[in-house]
Chains A and B, each alone.
Chain A
Amino acid sequence: MTAGRTPQVGDEMPALTRTVSQEQIVAYAEASGDRNPIHLDPEFARGVGLPGTIAHGFLEMAILAEAVARWAGGYERVAELGCRFSKPLLPGEAITCTGRVVAVDPVSGALTLQLEATSSRGERVLTNGRAVVRPDD
């Protein structure tokens, strides 16, 4: 957040862009324990109607959480986060997370952000994103 200034409705969160490779999807499967073959096995993924393997929704959500946490100044600032997984993110594509402040609680100072994420293919992969950021202690 901008130092020395109270965040206001309309403030934009700096965008965070990450390219997600198949190697990263494999690393995420190992680290998270989610080894669903739609993320790991292209043939299996095509068999269930996907264009190939897809990134874990939770990997995309984790990148969205990072975008918020970076702007807010720490993981523990993120009090709430939600989104809809609208379109798959495919390996090799970049995801860009954006957001802006839509409400400031006048009593607690908590901020509500509206968020979304788009892929480098131009798909809105995460929609209806919303986060609540705790104020400074």
Chain B
Amino acid sequence: MPDPSHVGRRYVAPGQLISPERVAAYASAVSGDDPTFPPGSVPPAFAAVYCVQPTLAEMFADPELGIELAGLIHAEQSFEWPVPVRPGDVVDAAAEVTSVEARRGLTFVTVGLEATNQAGETVCRGRTLLLTRSAAR
């Protein structure tokens, strides 16, 4: 179960390739037969794939943090994209536990996210709020 002593834990997922094929598959899964823009630009929410998914996978696998996936709720998400990510970019993503608070039988875990491209530019910053049930006492 996460507790405030876990604040500052960091999980990295270097070398995320923004492959045109994965971008196209993602855009198609979101838009179906209602395509929004021609291939070549990256849907902003693709940050879920290059930034959130690989870093949180590391976080969920951390036995010391001890997040249980059953009953875990993704409560809030925000992103900023200072520089657009482009097909062919290689992105290093990182997540850091920025706060853990227990309230009303729930544990609120806030995670800060950042992704930088091969030129060292920040392509994405984000914040994820997760809720998990506190251990029964």
Question: With contacts A31-B22, A79-B80 known, is A18 near B43, CB below 8 A?
Answer: no
CB of B76 closer than 8 Å to a CB of A: yes
- Residues on A with C-beta less than 8 A from B69 are 36
- Residues on A with C-beta less than 8 A from B81 are 78-80
B70 near A48 (CB under 8 angstroms)? yes
B53 near A62 (CB under 8 angstroms)? no
Interface size on B, residues (CB 8 A): 36
Question: With contacts A59-B30, A83-B77 known, is A32 near B48, CB below 8 A?
Answer: yes
Most buried by A among B25, B30, B37, B70: B30
- What CA separation (Å) do A79 and B84 show in the bound complex? 8
- What CA separation (Å) do A62 and B29 show in the bound complex? 10
- Residues on A with C-beta less than 8 A from B79 are 80-82
Question: With contacts A65-B43, A69-B36, A69-B37 known, is A34 near B53, CB below 8 A?
Answer: yes
CB < 8 Å neighbour of A58 from B28, B32, B77, B82: B77
A57 near B36 (CB under 8 angstroms)? no
B29 near A24 (CB under 8 angstroms)? yes
- Residues of B that sit less than 8 Å from A by CB: 22, 25-26, 28-32, 34, 36-37, 41-46, 48-49, 52-53, 69-71, 73-82, 84, 127
Most buried by A among B22, B52, B80, B81: B81
- Residues on B with C-beta less than 8 A from A81 are 44-45, 78-79
Q: Which 7 residue pairs across A and B have the least CB separation, nearest first?
A: A82-B78, A62-B45, A31-B29, A58-B48, A76-B84, A27-B29, A62-B30
- Chain A to chain B contacts (Cβ below 8 Å), 27 pairs: A27-B29, A28-B30, A30-B29, A31-B26, A32-B29, A32-B49, A32-B53, A34-B53, A58-B52, A59-B30, A62-B26, A65-B43, A65-B44, A65-B45, A66-B36, A69-B37, A75-B42, A75-B84, A76-B41, A78-B81, A79-B80, A80-B79, A83-B78, A84-B75, A85-B76, A85-B77, A132-B80
- Residues on B with C-beta less than 8 A from A70 are 36
* A35 → chain B closest CB, angstroms: 10
CB of A8 closer than 8 Å to a CB of B: no
* B78 → chain A closest CB, angstroms: 3
